[in-house]
Amino acid sequence: MTAAATTLFDLSGRVALVTGGARGIGAAYVRALHDAGARVVVADLLEDEGSALAADLGDRVRFARLDVTDEDGWAAVVADVVAGWGGLDVLVNNAGIANAGPIEHYPRAKWDAVIAVNLTGVYLGCRAVVAALRARGGGSIVNISSVEGMRGSTHLHGYVASKFGVRGLTKSLAVELGADGIRVNSVHPGFVETDMTARIDPSGLPIPLRRGGRPDDLTGTLLYLASDASAYVTGAELVVDGGMINGVGHL
Residue 5 lies in a domain: no
Q: In what order do the strands lie in the sheet with 15-19?
A: 61-65, 39-44, 15-19, 90-93, 139-144, 182-189, 237-240
Confidence (pLDDT) at 147: 93
* Percent of the chain surpassing pLDDT 70: 95
- 190-229: per-residue pLDDT in tens? 989 877 776 777 777 888 998 989 999 999 999 999 999 9
- 102-140: per-residue pLDDT in tens? 999 999 999 999 999 999 999 999 999 999 999 999 999
Residue 126 lies in a domain: yes
C-alpha triplet 225, 194, 119: angle, nearest 5°: 55
Residue 225 lies in a domain: yes
Mean predicted confidence (pLDDT) in 180-197: 90
- CATH number of the domain where residue 93 is located: 3.40.50.720
Confidence (pLDDT) at 200: 73
Residue 97 lies in a domain: yes
The question of whether 224 is a catalytic residue gets the answer no
Confidence (pLDDT) at 206: 83
Residue 4 lies in a domain: no
Per the CB < 8 A criterion, the answer to whether 84 and 15 are in contact is no
Residue 62 pLDDT > 50? yes
Name which residue leads in pLDDT, 150 or 79.
79
Q: pLDDT band for position 250 (50/70/90)?
A: very low
Residue 2 lies in a domain: no
DSSP assignment, residue 206?
Answer: -
Domain containing 158: what range? 10-240
Q: How far apart are CA 156 and CA 204, in angstroms?
A: 18
Collect all residues with Cβ–Cβ distance below 8 Å to 36 and sequence separation of at least 6: 9, 10, 11, 12, 223, 226, 227
What total of structural domains would you count in the chain? 1
Quick one: which H or E segment has residue 76?
helix 71-85
Residue 245 lies in a domain: no
Per the CB < 8 A criterion, the answer to whether 158 and 115 are in contact is yes
Residue 15 lies in a domain: yes
Q: Chain-wide mean pLDDT for the chain?
A: 93
**CA atoms 205, 207, 210, 215: torsion sign:** negative
SS3 58: coil
Candidates 123, 159, 224, 232; catalytic one: 159
Name which residue leads in pLDDT, 208 or 78.
78
